[in-house]
Structure formats: structure tokens, C-alpha cells
């Protein structure tokens, strides 16, 4: 249990995060509705078709991107040397690839989200380092928050610079805060006349940071006092790193360039602000809106990650199909051995589902004021988890060649497959732009939203809350008297689909029915645990998994129907949707079963005992120490969780 101080800090962080949530939407969320028991098929059917004019723009750009990639980008060499070719950045920038999200008014390409995702997917199917440069720059870097929150003056000042080649980055994470940015320690102190702020603090793992010209930096500004209480404030700034001669401005320093297991061509670093001056007019939105801006930016921004995952998986599928058909063992193609067939089939069905989900979510994002928080979280979660699983299966299907590095394969005359590099490059997808666990938290929070909104004011009234307990109880009873019986009513049976077979319609009926069951079981579980359900992450995780599978099932079926409409004689999209849905139904059943058969207490007990050192007896006969020359590693490092403690605790 958290100490009093920890709890107050956590409550303050939660309050700040809650205040940062967007609340007004015109186009509702399919997933949020689903958690309430409403299967809003109408939101995704008919499956959105890309406007032909828009598609033409994407097709033409893609052909040009191909030329640049072929000429300037050698992913194998980038991986080997850890150097990213600057001419590739220049060529991509000249093509507008670093200003895809900026409207034409400011010199950008002004692409739709669908075309943007298509380009990311396409680049990712070839080189992960390249797509990360491009995506960090504008999915989360300056163009995105300025698009959503910038003033006309800010847009006029910064966006043309980006179109002319300035590189951008997004600096939220710090050595001591990752998933919980509300507790950041970087500060922005206003000058006496309020004309500028001084930034102080360290920002860790800022992608593009060491090479960036313009960075979005989130920092704490002085707290507001409301009803005698201090309300922490975080603000977002546009920070220009270089002067007119291209030197870093005073107070800004790249302390360290980070290197990772994959994405070897990344420019990423630990950035330090030491009384770095930023003009007050560079605040994005209003002071205090920084966390909201960061979280909103990540909502749309994180759509880039699943788009990249889907693109990469399509490429891997191509390799897998070729390899499995051509590699013969025990007298037949390895893809015909059932154990491998199963992997290949799931691989194809999942890639189809990823494509369906990414395209659909981007079409949602292109609508005005659409609530895509949950769809983006679901897409990010599903696609990155599946990409990792697919990489692992692909490596297995390729056997020893899957494990061998591309250069080694090539040098001995074999095809330099990308799977070994892909595994290293793709793994971080489950961590950055919100980890998988954080995606679960976001979705779980929304899953419980209706119930929490009704129950929390009764159970834990806020200071100054006006409405009395009795009135709140009556309100809740009235809501549940109408809502709960509906979760037992038969689900819709007619979906207006024209091309799907009876079996696929069966999957749709299952999804609609299960959506009601999901809402009902969630409510029962809420009733059992009360507000403590928030801490039952494993149970909530099962509900979230069910929700994600239902969303992907629906997206896949809508997409299959759409493709069948275009070409009724080709039933292959339906084969893929059917396999995905059949597997998803099994997972859903297992997740419902797990909700009532948890051994959460056992997990908790063992994990706490482990952290308390009670299993030291198990960790015997190992030489788990650093080589002597590394033992002074923390001497120059900023305060970082666990650094020295980890070593001393063992002694």
C-alpha cells in the first residue's frame, strides 16, 4: 500500500491526468460505446473507402518515396554502422516527407491521416530507422501539437521552417518519469516581466533530439492556487535549439546520445536544459495545458506506430510466403508441415486484421472532432503486440537463417533476410509512445468510466461537492434500472452486410452479443470490487483484451465486406477475416473464464516477496555483477531510479 505522501502525490498526478483528458467529441468512439454494451456497427459500416483523389495523391507520393529509399537508404548498412545518412533526410525532406502533416498553407503536403499512415506503413516496410525519424518528427514533434493547439502566429513562425528542413522532436520523458509524466521535474520559471521562461531539467530518450532544430518541451510552470490548494501546472513550449549559426543556444546541451538494441539509425539522446531561455509566446495553448497537449498529441500521434507495424508485417508476410514455399525439408515445403502452416495462417490473418484496424482508425481520425483515444490505444496495443509475436514466429519459420544477421547471410551468399533486425527494431513498439501496460490503463479507465462517474461521487465525495448522497444514489438507480436490463436483451441480428457469408455473419452476431456480455460482466465485477477494481489490473486486462478483440473482429469483417463488394469472386479476404475471428473467439472465451478464475493474490504475494528479497535463496550460484570497470557507472548520471540502489541492495 502506498504511504500517505505517495498517495497524495499519486492523487495529484491522477487529478492532473484527469484534467488533461479531452471530453467533448462529435464523432463517438466505437470502443467506448462497446464497453457500455452498445455495438455501434454503424460507426464502421460501410467500411470507409479512401477518396479516389486522395488515394491518387498517396499513390504518387509513394512512388517518389520508393525512389528516395532506393537511392539513399540501405537499412542493412544503417544497422551495421549505426549511422543514418544525412542525404536521405535531405532527400525525404525535399520530397515533403517531413512535412506530410503540415497544411499546404504553410508549405507542407497537408496529407490526410490515411495517406500519412500509408506513407509510414510503406517506409516501415523497408526501414524502421527511417520511419522512426519521420514519425517522431511529426506524429508527436512540433507539427502535431501546433496543428491542434498552436496560434496562427506560432504556425506562421515555425511550420514553414519545418517545411524548409528543420527537424523536430517531442521531449516528455525524463530519467525519473516515463509512464507517469505528470510527476515530471523539468521546470519553466517565468521571468519577472513574464516575457520569457527559463527551462531547467533533463529530458531522456528524445527521438531526433540530438539533431533537432525545434523541440516540444513539457515543463512544470508555477502552480495555481485554487480553494487554498496548489494545483500543479505543466506547460508545453516550442524550444528552438540552435542559433542563426547552427550552434546550440546557451543552456541547451545534448548530454548523451543513446543507442539501442535496434533502430540503430536513430538519433536519440539525453537533453539537458540549464537556464535555457524560451520566449513566453512559444507556449503552446495556455500555461497549464501542457499535459493535455502532450496526451492529446500522443492520442493521434500513436497512430503512426500501428501503421508502421502493419507495413512491416506485410513485408514480413511476403518473405514468409516465399521462404515457406521454397525451403524444402523432409520432402516438402516447410510451409506445408502443419506446425508451420498454423503460424503462417495466423500470421496472414493477423496482418489482415492489422490493416483493417489501422485504415479504419485513420479514417476515424480524419473526421472532425472524432473521439479516437481508445481506437488509437487499441490499434497501438494490438499492432505492436502482434508485430512482436509475428517477428518471433517468422524467425522460427526461417530457422537458423532467421537468427543470422543480414550481413553474415549475404557474405556467405544467402538472401539477407530482415527478420533478425526486425526483431530488434520492432520490440520498442511495445514500450514507446505509451507502453502496452499504459494502453491497457487508458482503455480500462474508459471501460469503467460510466460506472465510476456514477459511483465515485457517492463513495468518495469531492471537497465542495454540492449534490447530496441520496440524490446521487437515486440518479444511479434510475440509470441502472434502464441500462442493466438492456444488457440482457437480444443483440441486433441484422447488420445490413451484403457480401459476407453466413459464417461471417455468425461472427458479427457473436460480436454484438458479446459486447452486451462484456458490459454486464464489467458491471458485475465493478459491483464486486468497487473502486478497488482500479487496482485489479489483471482482471481489467482481461476485459480490455476482450474489448480489443471485439473491435478488431468488427473492423476485419467490415473490411472483408468492403473488399468483397469490390471483387465478389475473390473470397480470400473473408478467409482471413474468418480465421482471425475464429481465433479471437477462443481468446475471448479464455479471457471471460480468466475474469472469474484469477489467482491475482498469488501473483501479488510472489512479486512482493521477490522484491523484498525473500527468494534470495533461489538466486544463488550466479555471477550477476558488472565487470569491475563499469561499477562506477552512476558517478556522472542524473538521479535515476534504482541506479546505485540496485547494486547495493544485492550486497
Residues in touch with ligand FAD (CB under 6 A):
136, 169-173, 178-179, 205-207, 260, 263, 268, 428, 431-433, 435, 437-438, 441, 537
Considering beta carbons, is residue 408 or 640 the nearer one to ligand FAD? 640
Cβ(543)–Cβ(447) below 8 Å: yes
Min separation Cβ 211 and ligand FAD, Å: 12
CA triplet 240, 241, 244: central angle to 5 degrees?
A: 80
CA distance linking residue 275 with residue 277, whole number of Å: 6
Considering beta carbons, is residue 309 or 335 the nearer one to ligand FAD? 309
575 in active site: no
Considering beta carbons, is residue 271 or 344 the nearer one to ligand FAD? 271
3-state SS assignment for residue 197? strand
Min separation Cβ 434 and ligand FAD, Å: 6
CA distances (Å), 300 to each of 149, 152, 474, 597, in order?
A: 13, 21, 38, 36
Cβ(592)–Cβ(513) below 8 Å: no
Min separation Cβ 141 and ligand FAD, Å: 8
Which of 228, 85, 237, 78 shows the shortest CA–CA distance to 146? 237
Min separation Cβ 395 and ligand FAD, Å: 21
CA triplet 409, 413, 417: central angle to 5 degrees?
A: 40
Residue sitting closest to ligand FAD (CB): 178
One of 240, 404, 433, 536 is an active-site residue; which one?
433
Which of 220, 223, 207 shows the shortest CA–CA distance to 169? 207
Min separation Cβ 181 and ligand FAD, Å: 8
Cell numbers that stand for 202 in this block: 533533463
DSSP assignment of 148-195 = HH--HHHHHHHHHHHHTT--EEEE--BTTBSS-GGG---EEEEPTTSS
Min separation Cβ 304 and ligand FAD, Å: 12
Cell numbers that stand for 606 in this block: 510472489
Considering beta carbons, is residue 173 or 418 the nearer one to ligand FAD? 173
N-terminal to C-terminal alpha carbon distance within the chain: 26
CA distance linking residue 47 with residue 577, whole number of Å: 14
Which of 239, 241, 357, 369 shows the shortest CA–CA distance to 307? 357
Residues forming a β-bridge with 328: 333
Min separation Cβ 132 and ligand FAD, Å: 8
Residues carrying an active site annotation? 433
Amino acid at each position: 500500500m502506498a504511504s500517505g505522501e505517495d498517495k497524495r502525490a499519486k492523487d495529484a498526478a491522477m487529478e492532473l491526468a484527469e484534467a488533461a483528458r479531452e471530453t467533448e467529441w462529435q464523432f463517438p468512439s466505437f470502443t467506448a460505446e462497446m464497453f457500455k454494451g452498445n455495438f455501434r456497427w454503424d460507426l464502421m459500416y460501410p467500411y470507409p473507402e479512401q477518396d479516389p483523389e486522395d488515394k491518387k495523391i498517396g499513390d504518387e507520393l509513394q512512388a517518389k518515396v520508393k525512389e528516395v529509399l532506393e537511392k539513399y537508404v540501405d537499412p542493412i548498412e544503417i544497422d551495421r554502422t549505426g549511422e543514418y545518412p544525412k542525404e536521405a533526410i535531405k532527400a525525404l525532406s525535399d520530397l515533403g516527407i517531413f512535412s506530410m502533416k503540415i497544411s499546404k498553407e504553410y508549405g507542407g503536403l497537408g496529407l490526410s491521416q490515411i495517406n500519412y499512415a500509408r506513407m509510414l506503413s510503406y517506409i516501415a516496410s523497408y526501414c524502421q530507422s527511417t520511419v522512426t525519424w519521420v514519425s517522431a518528427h511529426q506524429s508527436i514533434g512540433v507539427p502535431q501539437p501546433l496543428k491542434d493547439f498552436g496560434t496562427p502566429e506560432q504556425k506562421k513562425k515555425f511550420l514553414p521552417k519545418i517545411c524548409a528542413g528543420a527537424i523536430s522532436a517531442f521531449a516528455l520523458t525524463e530519467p525519473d518519469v516515463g509512464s507517469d509524466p505528470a510527476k515530471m521535474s523539468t521546470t519553466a520559471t517565468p521571468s519577472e516581466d513574464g516575457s520569457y521562461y527559463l527551462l531547467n531539467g533533463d529530458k531522456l530518450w528524445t527521438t531526433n533530439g540530438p539533431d533537432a532544430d525545434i523541440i516540444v518541451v513539457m515543463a512544470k510552470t508555477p502552480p495555481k492556487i485554487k480553494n487554498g490548494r496548489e494545483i500543479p501546472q505543466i506547460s508545453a513550449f516550442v524550444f528552438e535549439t540552435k542559433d542563426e549559426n547552427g550552434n546550440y543556444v546557451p543552456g541547451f546541451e545534448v548530454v548523451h546520445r543513446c543507442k539501442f538494441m535496434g533502430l540503430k539509425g536513430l538519433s536519440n539522446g539525453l537533453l539537458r536544459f540549464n537556464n535555457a531561455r524560451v520566449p513566453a509566446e512559444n507556449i503552446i495553448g495556455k500555461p497549464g495545458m501542457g499535459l493535455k497537449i502532450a496526451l492529446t498529441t500522443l492520442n493521434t500521434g500513436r497512430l503512426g506506430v500501428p501503421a508502421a507495424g502493419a507495413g512491416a508485417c506485410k513485408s514480413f508476410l511476403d518473405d514468409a510466403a516465399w521462404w515457406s514455399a521454397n525451403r524444402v525439408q523432409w520432402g516438402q515445403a516447410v510451409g506445408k508441415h502443419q506446425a508451420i502452416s498454423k503460424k503462417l495462417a495466423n500470421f496472414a490473418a493477423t496482418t489482415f486484421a492489422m490493416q483493417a484496424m489501422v485504415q479504419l482508425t485513420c479514417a476515424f481520425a480524419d473526421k472532425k472532432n472524432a473521439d479516437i483515444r481508445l481506437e488509437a490505444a487499441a490499434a497501438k496495443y494490438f499492432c505492436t503486440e502482434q508485430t512482436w509475436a509475428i517477428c518471433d514466429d517468422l524467425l522460427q519459420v526461417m530457422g537458423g537463417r532467421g537468427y543470422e544477421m543480414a550481413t553474415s547471410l549475404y557474405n556467405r551468399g544467402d538472401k539477407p533476410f530482415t527478420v533478425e533486425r526486425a526483431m530488434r527494431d520492432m520490440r520498442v513498439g511495445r514500450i514507446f509512445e505509451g507502453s502496452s501496460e499504459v494502453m491497457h490503463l487508458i482503455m480500462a479507465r474508459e471501460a469503467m468510466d460510466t460506472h465510476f462517474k456514477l459511483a465515485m461521487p457517492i463513495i468518495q465525495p469531492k471537497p465542495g461537492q454540492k449534490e447530496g448522497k441520496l440524490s446521487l444514489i437515486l440518479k444511479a438507480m434510475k440509470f441502472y434500472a434502464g441500462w442493466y436490463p438492456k444488457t440482457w436483451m437480444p443483440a441486433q441480428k441484422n447488420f445490413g452486410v451484403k457480401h459476407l457469408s453466413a459464417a461471417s455473419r455468425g461472427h458479427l452476431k457473436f460480436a454484438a452479443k458479446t459486447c452486451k456480455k462484456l458490459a454486464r460482466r464489467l458491471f458485475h465485477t465493478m459491483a464486486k470490487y468497487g473502486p478497488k477494481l482500479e487496482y485489479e489490473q489483471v482482471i481489467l486486462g482481461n476485459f480490455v483484451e476482450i474489448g480489443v478483440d471485439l473491435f478488431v473482429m468488427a473492423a476485419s469483417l467490415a473490411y472483408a465486406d468492403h473488399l468483397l463488394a469490390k471483387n465478389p469472386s475473390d473470397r480470400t479476404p473473408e478467409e482471413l477475416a474468418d480465421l482471425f475471428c475464429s481465433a479471437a473467439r477462443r481468446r475471448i472465451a479464455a479471457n471471460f473464464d480468466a475474469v472469474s478464475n484469477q489467482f491475482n493474490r498469488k501473483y501479488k504475494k510472489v512479486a512482493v516477496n521477490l522484491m523484498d528479497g525473500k527468494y534470495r535463496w533461489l538466486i544463488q550460484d550466479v555471477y550477476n555483477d558488472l565487470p569491475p570497470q563499469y561499477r562506477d557507472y552512476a558517478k556522472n548520471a542524473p538521479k535515476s531510479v534504482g541506479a546505485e540502489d540496485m547494486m547495493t541492495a544485492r550486497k
